[in-house]
Structures are given as structure tokens and as C-alpha cells.
Structure 1
Amino acid sequence: MKTNKLYIIALSILTLGSCQKDFLDSEPITKGTEQNFYRTKADAARAIVGCYDGLQTVWAAGIALPVAAEIMSDNAFGGTGNSDGFGYQMIDEFDKQRSPADVTVFGSNWSAYYRAVYRCNVLLSKISQINWEGDEAARKVTESEARFLRAYLYFDMVRLWGNIPLLTTPSAENVPQSNADEVYKQIAEDLKFAADNLPETPYTAEWAKTNGGRITKWAAEALIGRVFLYYTGYYGKTDLAGVITKAQAVAYLENAITKSGHGLLTDYTTLWPAASVEKYAGEDNKETVFAIKYTYTSNYNGNTDGNHWMVMTGMREQASYPYGNGWGGATVNPKLWNTFSNTDTRRNASIISIADEGINFSNKPKQREYTGYYNKKYSPMINKDGTSMVELYTTSGNFMISQYQDYVSIRYSDVLLMAAELGSANAQEYFNQVRQRAYGNNYSEIAATKDNILKERRLEFVGEGLRYWDLLRLGVNTAAAAIAETVTLENGGVATPKTISATKIIETKGLQQIPTDQINLSNNVLKQNQGW
């Protein structure tokens, strides 16, 4: 088999940088080789930091999946600057002709994902040679964390691109794409191992002070539920790749609900900095089951720590307290705003409404696909005097690289709604909890049917990158019908028609294009997805 380093840059796992806050703070490893490293428990602890670091860099360049997923759904349009290229419109409309030269729009992401997988594979391949000093529990935790991270990375990739190369050893071989069933089988096995071997340590605020960001048993159980729902829905299966049954998926979720110590915050708005400002509950609060952690050491000298993607969803080159400058990507669809009831507290916590908040937005000439609505959950922020808000910026205040708000990937409300959807005996109770928090005194009970749960998921997770996958797992045709739209938006202040065709979504099966440079580097071993 021909060897060609196209999927990954075979950097040593030993050249790692610090990436995460709390327990993951660590000095870079700059000395050592595979021959003299991976020997001690301390080596293993530093190596797993590198695996976490790999995850937090996958969206440092290219297009972040939470942003892309909002754009691909019926929640948002491509947006960005009126003089920018049309790559975001191509993603939004699933139409290569919108930007024919944009053949590597996800190219940086592809490379970063496989670099991150490589780090996990290296550590997993060295597990047996490490001297664990008889501490079998430490070995299981380290292996579980690495396998969870690998599963998380592959789940992102297989949803975005479909059939992908599956590498489970630290290899750079030019291998063909695996069938999605094989990828999901590996994901399921990795997550099952993590869920079965991580300790049952319940969440407490004190625990979170030193362990914020650490993968837990509860995160693994929750991700099993998410993967199960997507795989069985999109591929029309009854179980998760022959590894996890529906009953087992429900049991994992129930375990996370009853034993994890996680729970809903009383006030939904306090989950998000820009929605609550002084009332913000903070990172690693009890509702956060798993988050991708970011720190504040980004610069233009190769340090890719920090949330590099959040600036994309901010208002286009204009700030208005507490919202800071951004690039105007993923402009929110007015239909989404109108879907909310006026009594739903999640609407104003999730979406910036230019008109309703009295913002004097004067930058329409620079904004493409202006709708009057932006993502509030992941908005850059400023102080009243216009300076960068230090809680979410570096002191340099460079809004382009200074964001470090965590991406909350799994919230406890998601665990409740997944368990309800999968048929928990407590489905109505779990469903009610989420809605009671949202409506407060205006709450009234409705039945926890699948249709109602999915409608509730859309409102609960606005701007969090979940809606598209929820639609796609209902079937490509169903998703296409929900997303397709002909609308008039403002490009540079000028009314401009826009069409999202159901036909294009069906033709591509809802998948994005494989980066063409990777296909070329593989000598066409990689095959492009249908419709691209």
C-alpha cells in the first residue's frame, strides 16, 4: 500500500502546547521522543493534555462545525461580509456553483481533525508500555479519555463528510474511505469503553474548580445517546452499529440523569455571557456535561489556543454594548425568531434582535444576508466604555483572536430530551423540566411526543450547532423540505433574492464536499461526495 502523509501532519505528540483551563493547564513538552517518553504516569498525564489540545484546535482555522451546522440548518443563513467570497453561501445552499473555486472550504478542518486523531492513536498505542505503578484505575481513565476524544472527532467528521478514512493506529498511510458503518462501530466501541470505565464521580461546584473540562462518565453516556439518535435516524438502523441497543442507550442516559449530579440552572439566560452579563453562571456550571475548553493565549505566532471561531457570528464590524465586533456570519433566520412564543425566555437569551434591542446598526453596506438577527450565545463582548470585556478576552483586546468562551457541546437539558425521545419511562417528566424552565409562570404542559420534543430541541439549542443534525436524522428528504426556502435578504443594504433548493440537499445527502486538495494528494484514492 502506498504511503502518503495526506491526512495528517505527522507531528510528534511530544510537541504539545497548553490548551485548556483548570486541570489541563500544563507546560509544553518540548523534549523527548517516542523512545524515551510514554514511560511513566506523568508522561501519560501530559500526553492526554495533548489529546485535549488536539480537540480545541480543530476549528482554529477553516469553518467551525457549530457555525457550519447552524448555517446548514433552517436556523441561519451564510451571512459574512458583502465583499467576501461566497463559501458560506455554498455551504448554506449545498451548491458548488455558488463558489466554484472554493474547493477546500473545510480543508484546514480536515487536516486538524486527523492531527487530533493521530495524537489519540499514538497515546492509545503506547498505553501498555507505560508503567502505571499498579494503578489500574489511572490507566482506565487515561484510555477512556483518549477513546472518548477519538470518538468525538470521528463523529464530527463522519456527520460532515460521510465515508472517511478510519485510522485507529498512528499511521499516515493513504487509505481509502471506510464505510460509515465501520466508523460508527469504532465510535460506539470507544464510547462504550469510556462509559463503562470512567468513575462515577458526581458533579459538584468544588469538583469543577479543578476538573473543569475533564471528560466524565456522564459525558460518555450522553454522547452515546447523541450518536445513537443520529446513526439510527440518518441510516435507518435499529441499533448503534451492532454495539449498543436502544435499551442500552436509554440506560446510559438514565444513569447520567440520576447519578451525575448535573442539573438545569434555574434561569436559562445565565447560561450565556452575552445574555446575562453580570448574572452569568460561569463556565463548568452544573448544566455543562461536556465543553471544549479554550484559554486566552492566542497570538499570531503560531499559538492556536482560544476560541477562534466565535468572532464569525458577531455583528458585522460593529459593536453595541454588550456585543462586540464580529464578521457577521450565520445571520439568524427571522423565521426562527418568529417560531418562539413571546413568553419563552430562551428567545431573547439566544438571539440578538437589532430592532427589539434598539441597536443602531449602521453597517448594512458591509453585511451580506442581513436579517436583523444575530447569535447571542456566542457573541463577542465589550464593556460599556467600548473596551474588551476582560472576562472573555485577553488584555490585548484583539477581537479577532482574543475570544476564549468555551463551546458547551453537551448540556444537561440535552440529556433529558434525548432520554425522553428514546422512550424513557420518565419522558414526560424530563420534557416538562426543560419547558418549565423556559416558560416559568407561563408554562403549560403539552405531550412529550417525538414531534413536540424535536420542536422543543430547536428552541432549546438555538445557535449551538445541533439543529441541522436533528433535522438530518429525520431523513434527508425531511431535512431538505424543512431547510429549503426562497427569501429576500439584504446584501450590502440591497434587497436580494436567495434560494435554498431541496434538490441540492437531497443530491448531496446533506453532506459537505471532501477537500479537493486531499483528493489530489491521495492520487484519487479518496472519492468526492455525490453532488459536489
Structure 2
Amino acid sequence: MKKKINYSILFCLTLLGLSSCDRSLLNPIPQTSVSDASAFSSTTRVQTQLLSLYGALKDGNFYGGRYVIYGDIRGEDFINETSNLVTGSDVWGLNATNSATAVVNLWYFAYLTINKCNIFLDGMEAGGSAVVGAEAAAKYIAEAKLIRALSYYSLLQYYARPYIDGNGNKPGLPLRLNGIRGVGQSNLARSTVAEVYTQVLKDLNEAETGLPLKYATDAENTTRAHKNTAIALKTRVYLSMQNYASVITEANKIVSATAPFSAPTGVAHALQADITTIFTSPNYTTTESIMSMPMTATTGDFPGTQNQLAYYYSPNATNGGIGNGEYSLNPKGIIADTTWRAADKRRAFLKTSGTGATAKTWLIKYKAASPYTDYVPVIRYAEVLLNLAEAKARTANAVDAQSVALLNAVRQRSDATKTYTAASFASSTDLINAILLERRIEFLGEGLRNNDLVRLLQTIPAKGTVPAKTPSEPNYIWPISASELALNTLATDN
């Protein structure tokens, strides 16, 4: 008898032509149900299985919301306003426990995505590849490997020590590469950080080989993985490993040598003239957005309750916003930096409510009201430019001219009155600091701040009532999920 397939977390990806499913099919154990040969018995079924991987990745508890939010609120640029554990007050306070909502759910939904990728890859090997043909199979397998790589990389940023701490020899993650098809398959010791990064890069390298150069539409070029997606993500991964030579090698594949910078192959990635447009419909699919999580108003195809970026960052209606006012901007954080000039277009993402001592500033980068259908950015071309700028600055013995030009490209796009020259920096260290500052401004609300702090083993600065957190203190990284420790007797805690 054929087993019934559980399409858990198969969200409607309208841009990809897929309708939503019944989320009541989601069961906590096993993490995904058995997929037998019938799941891969036709081209349509294989494609449905593939698109379900994107559905899992874009869940509001993972890359459709929470992962990005946690990356911001762990840093110093936001102030918690509601003291609500459900919306991450413990994450902001740097004191989340093994059983915290954030710790348990992010682990669960990331591994659910990984397991769906593993089951898909198993199914393709067992017969799915023959059904769709070698060319399509290579593309589909590459997409699954990229999603698995992104998921493992994302978990490393919260649950494992930074690569630089021991050159990757610290405990990383249980490295599951085969599908879990039932109970009793959870026991697996944690691989080292280096071993997990090795697998991430293996998946991304193989993905780059198998992925298409581009798709037929801008929508697919933004919401499905292609060669440049894999390359761009590798610049992020290598930056986290402080392997700056490899950042340069990868970035040079998709960044021209001189301004105006653009990708010479595949999708013609480039900065858009006005940053404020790319966060507004219908401009979610410009060539600056290398990968984003698409959302629509269709039931089941948006992040869901208390997962949405605008819900967290925008003020409530009373204060002129569309969200719940969960997090305001720290008045002593990046918004106070005097080099971020008032004329900078990125200041348009800020909104002040109240006056005097009661005044608060909010982030309104995400503008779609409930049910909150803003696309969630995964990686933009601006990040690739700044990744390359930082890598070149760190490997140079002097102020690197291309680094300065890349920094200028990002800054001048929003503030045409500011021009950096080599004379602007007394040393390469000053240039690096300017690039790191630019990242805080450019990617505010896009989830990169936690990654930038921990990859450099920097202290997480104090904010509001929360004291600074040094790399040697508990909760600099998260504890392992209580659910994993209960199910996996070989797992150890941080």
C-alpha cells in the first residue's frame, strides 16, 4: 500500500504557480513523513516536491520572518517595547534558554527544511531523476542543495561558536544528510563547525554547477536559486569563515572590476538607483535582489501571526504605522551616527512618533500592511559589493582602491553628496571600520547584524537595560534546542 505524502509547510508560492496546502498536516514527530516512490512518479509531482522546499524555507518561523528578526534584535540597534517572550524579548535580552520559543522553533523549522531537502534528494536518486530527465534533475538537485546549505549556515550563526574561535574546531550541528522517515532516527552527534561549513560549501559549489544561469522572468530570478545565488551566498559564507581570499574569488565572478558595478554573467545584478523603491511592490524583483522570500495575500502564503517584519518594526496605527511596535530603534544606536547624514535616502526608512522625552524612532523599511506581504530579503547585490570591499580591505597592506570604490557605490546610491577617497582613511583598519558601519546602515532590518558581530568575535554592545555580552559569556551563542536534546541522546549542549 502506498503511503500518504505529507506536504507539511507547503506554502502557496504564487509566483511559481503553486497553491497552498492544509497546514494541519504538520506533525512534530517525525519531522517530515515518509515520501515513497509515488511522490516522484511524474514531472508534476517532482516539481511540487521541489517547490515545497522553498515553502519550508520561507516559513514565518524561519527565513520568512523570525530568522531575520532575531539577527537584528540580538544586536544593539533595537529596543524592545513589549517585553513579550513570544516576540523575542529574551532574544533581545540575550538570555534565551533551551526551551525558549525562539531557540526551539528556529531549530525545528530549519531542520524541517533540511529534512525535506534530504528526502527530496533521496527521492531523486531513487527514481525522480529518471522521471524528469538529466537536465531538469541537475537543476532541481542543485536547488535542493542550495536550500540545505542556506539552512545549515543559518543555524550555525545562532547555535555554534564563530569559525574564528578555534578555526572551526568547536561543536557545530548534527549534520543530517539523509532523510528522516520515521521515529528513532534522531541520534547523531554534533559535527564540528568546520565540518558543517565544509558541507555548506560543498552543497553551494555543487549547486553553482547545476543551477541555471537565469530564468525566464524577474520573479523567478528573485525567488528561485540560480548560479549567481550560489556565488553570492558563498561570499557570505567565506566572510563568516574569515577566508577573505575566497570571498574575493567568488565575488569577482559576479562583480565587474570597475564602477558601475554589475554582474557580467547570468542575471545582470546591479544596484538600483533608489534603494527606497526595492522594498515596495512591484519592485521586489529588481536585479538588486539576488534572492528573496516571496509573500502574497493568499491564506498560508504570508509569514503568519507574530512572524512578520513589519509587525515587529513598524509602529502601531496610533503612532502612524502598520505594525505592533514591538521594537523601536535605539536612540544611541546606528541612527545616532553623525556620518549617516540627514539627506541620505535610507533615512526615509525611519519614522519618529511622539515628541521630546517620549519620542521614539521606528524602522518602516517594510511597508505592506496586514497580512504583511513584503518580500523578505535573503541576499542583495549591495551585500556582495560590501563583502568584496571588506575582503579586499582586509587582505591589502594599504587602503585598497577598489574597496573604496565599492564602498562609494553603496553610500553614494543613497547619499550622492558623500565621496570617499583613499585620503579619507589613514589605514586599512579605518577603511574596514567604514565598511562595517555602512553594513549597519544598509542592512538595518535585514538580519545581518548578529552575523557580523559574531563572525568577528566582537562583544555584543549594551542596549537599553541589557548589558554588553562578551564572546566568553553564556548566551553569546544560543543553547541547543531542548527538543533536540530530548530526542537526540548523542547531542550535547553549548
* TM-score normalized with structure 1 length: 0.74
Question: Does 2:407 match 1:434?
Answer: no
Q: Which residue of 1 aligns with 2:193?
A: 180
Aligned match of 1:353: 352
In structure 1, runs of 5+ residues without a counterpart are: 1-9, 240-244, 274-279, 365-370, 382-391, 394-398, 488-497
1:453 aligns with 2:435: yes
Aligned residues of 1:13 and 1:119 also touching (Cα < 8 A) = no
Change (3 A) 1:199 1:426: farther
| Residues in 2 aligned to 1:142 and 1:101: alpha-carbon distance in whole angstroms | 35
What's the counterpart of residue 392 of structure 2?
Answer: 423
1:465 Cα deviation after fit: 0.9
Q: Does residue 127 in structure 1 map to residue 124 in structure 2?
A: yes
Matching of residue 224 in structure 1 with residue 234 in structure 2 = yes
Match of 2:112 in 1: 115
Distance 1:88 1:131 in 2: 42
User: Within 5 A, what are the aligned runs for 1:111-510?
Assistant: 111-128=108-125, 129-132=127-130, 135-162=133-160, 163-171=172-180, 172-201=185-214, 207-209=217-219, 212-232=222-242, 245-246=246-247, 248-254=249-255, 257-259=263-265, 260-273=267-280, 282-298=283-299, 303=300, 305-306=302-303, 308-315=307-314, 317-321=316-320, 323-329=321-327, 331-339=329-337, 340-354=339-353, 372-378=360-366, 381=367, 392-393=368-369, 399=370, 402-423=371-392, 426-445=402-421, 446=424, 449-475=431-457, 479-480=458-459, 483-485=460-462, 487=464, 498-503=465-470, 505-508=471-474, 510=476
- Residues 63, 105 of structure 1: 8 Å contact kept: no
Q: Is the 8 A contact 2:20 2:301 kept in 1?
A: no
SS at match of 1:105: helix
What is the CA–CA distance in structure 1 between the aligned matches of 2:105 and 2:346, rounded to whole Å? 33
CA distance in structure 1 between the aligned counterparts of 2:438 and 2:227, rounded to whole angstroms: 26
- 1:6-17 equivalences under 5 Å are 12=5, 14=7, 17=10
Contact 2:10–2:20 (8 Å) recurs in 1? yes
Aligned match of 2:90: 90
Shift of 1:283: 1.4
Is the contact made by 1:63 and 1:106 (CA closer than 8 Å) also made in structure 2?
Answer: no
Q: Secondary structure at the match of 2:441?
A: helix
C-alpha displacement at 1:49, in angstroms?
0.7
How has the CA–CA distance of structure 1 residues 346 and 471 changed in structure 2, closer, same or farther, with 3 Å as cutoff?
A: farther
AA aligned opposite 1:165: P
- CA, structure 1 residues 506+247, in 2 after alignment: closer, same or farther (shift >3 Å)? same
User: Displacement of 1:423 after TM fit?
Assistant: 2.0
Alpha-carbon distance in structure 1 between the residues aligned to 2:51 and 2:403: 37
What aligned pairs does 1:73-84 form with structure 2 within 5 A after superposition?
Answer: 73-77=75-79, 79-82=80-83, 84=84
Structure 1 residues 468, 169: closer, same or farther in 2, change over 3 A?
A: same
Matches of 2:51 and 2:350 in 1, distance apart? 34
Contact 1:81 1:328 in 2 (8 A): yes
Distance 1:20 1:264, change over 3 A: same
Aligned match for 1:513, one of 469, 479, 489: 479
In structure 2, relative to structure 1, the CA distance for the partners of 1:215 and 1:246 (3 Å cut) is closer
Aligned counterparts of 2:480 and 2:329: Cα–Cα separation in 1? 25
Amino acid at match of 1:42: T
Q: Extract unaligned runs of 5+ from structure 2.
A: 26-33, 161-171, 257-261, 394-400
Whether the 8 Å contact between 1:334 and 1:373 is mirrored in structure 2 is no
Q: In the TM superposition, what whole-angstrom CA distance separates every residue of 1:160-218 from its partner, at most 9, and x where no partner exists?
A: 101221111102422122211111111000111111222223x8xx7214554111111
Closer, same or farther in 2 for the Cα pair 1:374/1:115, shift >3 Å?
A: same
Q: Is the 8 A contact 1:71 1:91 kept in 2?
A: yes
* Helix, strand or coil at the partner of 1:410: strand
Q: 1:346 to 1:176 in 2, by over 3 A?
A: farther
The number of residue pairs the alignment matches comes to 445
User: Is this contact kept in 2: 1:21–1:213, CA < 8 A?
Assistant: no
What aligned pairs does 1:53-64 form with structure 2 within 5 A after superposition?
53-57=55-59, 59=61, 64=66
What SS does the corresponding residue of 1:337 show, helix, strand or coil?
helix
Contact preservation (8 Å) 1:353, 1:373: yes
SS at the partner of 1:352?
Answer: strand
Judged with a 3 Å threshold, the aligned counterparts in structure 2 of structure 1 residues 231 and 521 are, in CA distance, closer, same or farther, namely same
Listed one character per residue, the Cα deviations across residues 238-283 of structure 1 (whole Å, up to 9, x for unaligned) are 77xxxxx45533444437732231111111222233xxxxxx6621
Q: Normalization by structure 2: what TM-score?
A: 0.80
Equivalent residues of 1:20, 1:293 under 8 A apart:
yes
Please tell me whether the aligned partners of residues 297 and 306 of structure 1 are also in contact (alpha carbons under 8 angstroms): no
- Secondary structure of the corresponding residue to residue 119 of structure 1: helix
RMSD: 3.4
Q: Taking every aligned residue pair, what percent have the same amino acid on both sides?
A: 20
Deviation at 1:315, TM superposition (A): 4.5
Give the direction of change, closer, same or farther, for the CA distance of 1:74–1:185 in structure 2 (3 Å limit): same
Q: 1:348 to 1:428 in 2, by over 3 A?
A: closer
